[in-house]
């Protein structure tokens, strides 16, 4: 098995690391307090090609694969998790449109998503009454002449108030259940699309999370992705890829926390020596480093399977489950090692713990990942 990275993948990793250290990390603590949306940062990341790492070059992307994308997400997560989640969702939306829209429609949206003109993309699947059970959505789309009218509400929409383009799922045929759900591209400034509420969250304060209302939003037939009734499996496919992004984000957050903690444990003295020399601390760090390595490998393995066009749904679910659950444990160990200093804002650890908590929930909770894994086990090899 070859674990080496190509020159191009290393270049994307270096670019993202440099951007994270130069543009994101210095303002991450202030953004956590102010809740300011990272408009400028997204524009600069777009300029560096990081809003379309895996998007084809013909549509303005970097034309790299899922491995490069995962490496970039790890670096951005390490710099500022709030910015990383906006980038992750935007990449997912750009890829979704690039692969499933008519060519002229893809050309209408994707280059502007990638170059930052549209700020970012948003993925509007969840609703107030349907999160894990995505097929239970109630937003409807009714056809009138050549136009579809979308009516309903969407919940937990990352960047929902800022995105220039959203993919919105709606029921077009109730009786057809999963096969009666359709995905539409909706412009951020569409008439009838409003922000009903912005969530006040535990962490990820620099990322906006919106409740959206669609009141007869009109969308042309050509803005349907993959065809009427094809939306549910499209959402599932997009989430399979998105879960690699969130797994990478969690790894990045945990890596940042662990690096900070190793430095701290080498400097902080108790009982006449640096605390890293105490076995109780060393054992926690050893566990954390091992979990981090395992999560990184699982994430890159899922990305490699996607890159090789092999089935990767199960691998992505396993990677997200393991990485996010262990990233949470790593951040908790890091906080414990910092003692009281870990619990206050002077150190970045309490922010990492608050930020990483969301990764166990969005793009499929850990329970949903287990469900996906178990269903794949039942299906057999
Ligand atoms: N790829 C392609 N098709 C798939 C698929 C996949 N990975 N998984 C399922 N499907 C297809 C099935 O083949 C089936 O098709 P047929 O009807 O033609 O046979 C159809 O979809 C229905 O499949 P299921 O019976 O498995 O569907 P279900 O209703 O039992 O739900 C689920 C499955 C896995 C629980 C799914 O609802 C799910 O993933 N839920 C979690 C939703 C989620 O992750 N939401 C995240 C919101 S987005 C977000 O968080 C973004 C953000 O802003 C940060």
> Per CATH, which fold does 7-120 belong to?
Butyryl-Coa Dehydrogenase, subunit A; domain 1 (1.10.540)
Would the CB of 296 count as within 6 Å of ligand 1? no
Determine which residue's CA is closest to atom 12 belonging to ligand 1: 233
pLDDT (average), residues 340-350:
97
pLDDT number for residue 9: 98
Ligand 1 within 6 A of CB of 237: yes
What is the CATH superfamily name and number for domain 122-229? Butyryl-CoA Dehydrogenase, subunit A, domain 2 (2.40.110.10)
Q: Whose CA is nearest to atom 44 of ligand 1?
A: 364
pLDDT in the model for residue 81: 98
CA of 236 relative to ligand 1 center, distance in Å:
4
Would you kindly state where each structural domain of the chain is located, as residue ranges? 7-120, 122-229, 232-379
Segment 129-138 shows an average pLDDT of: 97
Interval 281-293: pLDDT, tens: 999 999 999 999 9
Q: Which of 75, 95, 127, 363 is catalytic?
A: 363
CA of 232 to the centre of ligand 1 (A): 7
**Residues 167-171: what's their mean pLDDT?**
98
Q: Taking residues 333-360, what's their average pLDDT?
A: 98
Q: What is the pLDDT of residue 182?
A: 98
Atom 5 of ligand 1 has which residue's CA nearest to it?
Answer: 236
Residue to substitute in 236, 324, 360, 374 for testing ligand 1 pocket (most ligand atoms within 8 angstroms of CB): 236
Cβ of 90 below 6 Å from ligand 1: no
Instruction: Identify the residue with better confidence: 213 or 146.
Output: 213
Provide the whole-model pTM: 0.97
pLDDT of residue 381: 67
What's the gap in Å between 267 CA and the centre of ligand 1? 48
How many angstroms separate the alpha carbon of residue 181 from the centre of ligand 1?
Answer: 12
pLDDT of residue 380 exceeding 80? no
* Whether residue 249 has its Cβ less than 6 Å from ligand 1: no
Q: Which whole number is the average pLDDT over 134-143?
A: 97
Give the Cα-Cα-Cα angle 369, 370, 373 (nearest 5 degrees): 85
* 232-379 has CATH 3.40.50.720 classification: no
- Model pLDDT for residues 296-312, shown as the tens digit of each residue: 999 999 999 999 999 99
Cα 328 to ligand 1 centre (Å)? 25
The rounded distance, in Å, linking the Cα atoms of 85 and 88 is 5
Yes or no: say if 15 and 50 are a contact pair by the CB < 8 Å rule. yes
Residue 363 falls in the annotated catalytic set? yes
């Amino acid at each position: 098995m070859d674990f080496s990275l190509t020159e191009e993948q290393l270049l994307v990793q270096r670019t993202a690391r440099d951007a994270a250290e130069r543009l994101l990390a210095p303002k991450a603590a202030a953004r956590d307090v102010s809740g300011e949306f990272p408009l400028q940062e997204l524009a600069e990341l777009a300029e560096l090609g990081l809003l379309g790492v895996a998007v084809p070059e013909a549509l303005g992307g970097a034309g790299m694969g899922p491995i490069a994308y995962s490496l970039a997400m790890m670096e951005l997560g390490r710099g500022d998790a709030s910015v990383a989640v906006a980038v992750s969702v935007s990449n997912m939306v750009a890829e979704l449109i690039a692969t499933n829209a008519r060519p002229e429609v893809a050309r209408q949206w994707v280059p502007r998503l990638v170059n930052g003109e549209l700020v970012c993309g948003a993925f509007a699947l969840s609703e107030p009454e349907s999160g894990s059970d995505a097929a239970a959505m109630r937003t409807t789309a009714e056809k009138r002449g050549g136009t579809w009218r979308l009516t309903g509400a969407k919940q937990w929409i990352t960047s929902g108030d800022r995105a220039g383009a959203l993919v919105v799922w709606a029921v077009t045929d109730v009786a057809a259940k999963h096969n009666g759900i359709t995905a539409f591209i909706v412009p951020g400034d569409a008439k009838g699309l409003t922000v009903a509420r912005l969530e006040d969250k535990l962490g990820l304060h620099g990322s906006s999370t919106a409740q959206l209302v669609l009141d007869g939003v009109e969308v042309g037939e050509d803005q349907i992705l993959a065809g009427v009734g094809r939306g549910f499996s499209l959402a599932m496919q997009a989430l399979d890829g998105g879960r690699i992004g969130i797994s990478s984000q969690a790894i990045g957050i945990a890596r940042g926390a662990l690096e900070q903690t190793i430095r701290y444990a080498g400097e902080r003295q108790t009982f006449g020596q640096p605390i890293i020399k105490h076995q109780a601390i060393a054992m926690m760090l050893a566990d954390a480093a091992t979990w981090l390595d395992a999560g990184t490998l699982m994430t890159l393995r899922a990305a490699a399977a996607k890159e090789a066009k092999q089935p990767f749904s199960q691998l992505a679910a396993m990677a997200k489950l393991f990485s996010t659950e262990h990233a949470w444990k790593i951040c908790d160990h890091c906080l414990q090692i910092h003692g009281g200093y870990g619990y206050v804002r002077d150190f970045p650890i309490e922010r990492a713990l608050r930020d990483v908590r969301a990764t166990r929930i969005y793009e499929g909770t850990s329970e949903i990942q287990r469900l996906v894994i178990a269903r794949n086990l039942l299906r057999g090899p």
